Structures are given as structure tokens and as C-alpha cells.
A and B are shown apart, each in its own frame.
Chain A
Amino acid sequence: MSWAWFHRFGSPPYFYRVAGKLAPWFGWSALVLVLVSLYGGLVRAPVDYYQSDAFRIIYVHVPASWLALMTYTTMAVSAAIGLVWRIKVAHAVAVACAPAGVSFTVVSLVTGMIWGQPTWGTWWAWDPRIVSQLFLLFFFLGYIGLRSAIDDPDRADRASAVLAIVGVVNVPIVRFSVDWWNSLHQAPTVMRMDKPAMPWEMLWPLLLMALAYTLYFFWIMLVRARAEVLRRDRGGQWVREALARDAAGGSA
């Protein structure tokens, strides 16, 4: 298998150009899928026997929680690639993931709190899943804070990459906390060894919203990574050509 296509992404001009072409596709697809998923989750899905209509919070809470984990994993893998192979674009991708990760984690935590009140009778519980998700937020914030505390970009890349890699240990803790410890948080309903514990009418809007969030994440990540690549190489010859192309084509 040839890895030439992968190595090409290490070139900032190539990454900037390809990301600019891909980003709008991800963005528009995400928008359409979000709208369809909202219709599915709010209108088409039947009322839950136990939780009544409060269960509909699942369609915004669970995809945000999944994406928070996926964003962290992407950030850590990109940071590791940047650290090992010294690819600056990989660091730019890691930098682009962090703010999106903060948003997904905050949405996950706050919608979880809103869901917790009618179902558990409390806004907050010191439950392993919730606490590990809170630690995920701290890792994202720590990554952003560490970068902004170091002036030298190369040192900032290396130090923040180490923090991102160390924080990966929290990802399986978040994922499996409901299996490893007695938890107030419900067990997985979709990602189980056997079939999902939801009927298809309830499941499809959830899967579609998860796909919409994933596409949205790729869009945000590419837009932010393009900005980061541009910021790092501003003044370069390729930047002049890229900006002229952007002005002519109006890419995202």
C-alpha cells in the first residue's frame, strides 16, 4: 500500500488546498443531516415508556459525548504524529481539534445535567462517567492553556503534544466507566456487544445525528486547521498564491 497520499498531507500548501475543497462538503452535509435528525428525534421517534419525552435529549447529548471522545482521540493521534514525524500540519490539526472538543464536552456535560434532573432527580452526581467526562474537558482546556503559555511555537507543539498523549488514558476510562464501576449513568444502549437496546425508530435519528456531528467536526477541524497552517506560514510564497486562489474561488 502506498502512503504517498498521506505524506502529501504533510505539505501545508497541499493540505490548505485540499482542506479548502473538502470543508464545504462536510459543512453542507452536516447541516442537512442535522435538520433530518432533528425531525427524526423530535417528531418521528416514539415516546419512551419510562422517560416519556425527556428521553429525546439523547439525540443531542449522546452524539456530543461521542464526538468529545473522537475529537480528543483525533487530537492526540495528530499530536503524536506531529511529535514523532515532526509534521507541522499534524500539530495544526491537533490545535484545531481542541476548541471544538471543548464545545462538544461542554454540550455533553450540560445536556447531561439537564437530562439528569427529570430522570435522576439531580443536576449533578459525582458519578465515574460524569467525572471522567469533566476530566476530558480539563485535558482540552489544559492543552489550550499550555499552548498559549509558551511563546516558542516548536516548544508549544512538543509540550502540548505530550499532554495530549498523556490524556488519552482518560478516553477508555470515559468509555468503559459505566461497565467498570457501579454507576448512576445508564449502561451503553448502542455500542454493545449484542444488538442495540433501542428500537430502530428511536435508533436511526441518533445514528444520523452522530454522523451529522462527525461531519460537522471534520468541517470545523478543517476550517480551523487551515487558519492554523496559514498563521504558521504567513509570509510564505505559497500563502500568496493560496490567498489569490481563495479570493478568486471564495473557498471555506
Chain B
Amino acid sequence: MGEFFAMSGYWPFVWPAYALAMAGLAFEAWRARRLLGRARQEARRKLAIQEQS
């Protein structure tokens, strides 16, 4: 197992590269979901204002 994580001594390069790539995917997914949630909230607010007026 230790050999696997050591990556033949290249662990300071391999693991940060993978961590960055996966963090990038996760961050972008979170941002997109948050954007859609906010757009829905905003649309609901706008519709509620229309109904009141």
C-alpha cells in the first residue's frame, strides 16, 4: 500500500495533480447546482411579486 501512495517517489506531483483535478470537478458541480438553485429562487420571487401587483 505504501508503495502505491509513494508512486515511485513521484507522489508530490501525482497526488496534487489528481487532487486538483477532482477538486476542480467537484467545485464546478457545486457552483452549477448553486446557480440553478439561485435562479429558481429568483424566479419564484419575481412570480410572487407579479401575483401581488
Binding site for B on A (CB under 8 A): 27, 34, 38, 42-43, 47, 52-54, 56-57, 60-61, 64, 99-100, 103-104, 106-107, 110-111, 114-115, 117-118, 216, 219-220, 223-224, 226-228, 230-231, 234-235, 239-240, 243, 246, 252
Q: Which B residues are in CB contact (< 8 Å) with A104?
A: 24
Q: Which A residues are in CB contact (< 8 Å) with B42?
A: 230-231, 234
Known: A114-B17, A216-B25. A227 touches B36 (CB 8 A): yes
CB distance from B46 to the nearest CB of A (A): 5
Nearest B residue to A220 via CB reads: B32
Interface residues on B, range: 20 to 34
Binding site for A on B (CB under 8 A): 4, 7-10, 13-14, 16-18, 20-22, 24-25, 27-29, 31-33, 35-36, 38-40, 42-44, 46-47, 50
Q: Which B residues are in CB contact (< 8 Å) with A106?
A: 24
Nearest B residue to A43 via CB reads: B4
The 9 A-B residue pairs whose C-beta atoms are closest, nearest first, are A60-B21, A227-B39, A53-B7, A234-B43, A54-B10, A53-B8, A227-B36, A230-B39, A223-B32
Known: A52-B10, A235-B50, A243-B40. A103 touches B17 (CB 8 A): no
Of B27, B38, B40, B46, the residue contacting A103 (CB under 8 A) is B27
Secondary structure of the A side of the interface? helix
Q: Which B residues are in CB contact (< 8 Å) with A219?
A: 29
Q: CA A47 – CA B9 in complex, angstroms?
A: 13
Of B9, B16, B40, the residue contacting A114 (CB under 8 A) is B16
Q: Decide if B13 touches A61 in the complex (CB within 8 Å).
A: no
Known: A107-B24, A224-B32. A53 touches B47 (CB 8 A): no
Nearest B residue to A226 via CB reads: B36
CB distance from B49 to the nearest CB of A (A): 8
Known: A234-B46, A243-B47. A220 touches B13 (CB 8 A): no
Of A56, A103, A115, the residue contacting B28 (CB under 8 A) is A103
